[in-house]
Structure 1
């Protein structure tokens, strides 16, 4: 009995990344965009709250941690797409899926998890739960959109 094996190949004009790699790169790109928005709109979050999650201080630590979070969440996005067989769905669909994912990340992590975590580590300006902030919603939506488009282009 013969079986068919499909392999991925790379040529000079179209090099595709593995899903986890595309998710990592897309997550980093989205987090950089979101971090730039945060630096302009809510610098205290980037300089104080995000590094405080890990007992650190300062904008550089906040930027590095935020981009690292974006990379990890990008891999989770890729895993969800692979698990639901939505891997190569086109730029528009990738953008829409990323946008939805960014909003879900906001609703779970920024609105609920982050304020609880900040309270737990004793951050003096920990927001109340739920922490609903429009700037955060817009930033997470931008993160997701960039992630989804980058993923679709790279995977």
Structure 2
């Protein structure tokens, strides 16, 4: 599919949408991970023995999740009514922040609870809707939405 120029905006190949989302997701995951590691102190999880293997594993898992959730974001903002906002930096940041809040609510409020139940881990408060986690997810969303829009623009 070739690029075409219109009076309103330039249509790009679909592939660039996904590649841009992947790049933005990894960058957002890096920002979120640094926040988790150095501000909150939970990457790697405190319960585990901290060593180079644990840190590398934690980062690998974290960035993998960041990439997957970024592709979910791209899928959501690919709908025509939303795409025009996602392609602009200012509104992309707002959409990203909203995505971060939704991700926080689902990931920490639902997914972690099911994971703990499936693994019979009751050490965590279920759900653990902490402010630090919310700030991290919003940071992830803001970087994701802003960078995705910048790469699309």
Whether these two folds match at TM > 0.5 is yes
Cα displacement (A) at 1:123? 4.3
Q: How does 1:71-150 map to 2 (within 5 A)?
A: 71-89=67-85, 90-123=88-121, 125=123, 127-150=124-147
Which deviations, in whole Å up to 9, do the C-alpha atoms of 1:4-51 show, x marking residues without a partner? xx8327xxxxxx76211111111111110000000013333x2138x9
Measured on the aligned residues, the alpha-carbon RMSD in Å equals: 2.5
Structure 1 residues not aligned, in runs of 5+: 1-5, 10-15, 52-56
Say whether 1:24 aligns with 2:22.
yes
| Residue number in structure 2 paired with 1:8 | 3
TM-score (norm. length: structure 2)? 0.78
Question: What is the CA-CA distance between 1:128 and the residue it aligns to?
Answer: 2.4
Gaps of 5+ in 2: 5-11
- More RCO (CA 8 Å, sep 6+): 1
Contact 1:48 1:59 in 2 (8 A): no
Q: 1:69 Cα shift?
A: 0.6
User: What number of residue pairs does the alignment pair up?
Assistant: 137
Structure 2 contact 112–127 (Cα < 8 Å) conserved: no
**1:37-86 Cα shifts (integer Å, max 9, x gaps):** 00013333x2138x9xxxxx722211111111111111110111112443
1:29 and 1:108, CA in 2 relative to 1: closer, same or farther beyond 3 A? Answer: same
Q: Distance in 2 between matches of 1:66 and 1:145?
A: 17
| Local SS of the residue matching 2:125 | coil
- Kept after mapping to 2: 8 A contact 1:23/1:76: no
Corresponding position: 1:34 with 2:29: no
Taking structure 1 as the reference length, the TM-score comes to 0.77
- Distance in structure 1 (CA, Å) of the matches to 2:3 and 2:41: 43
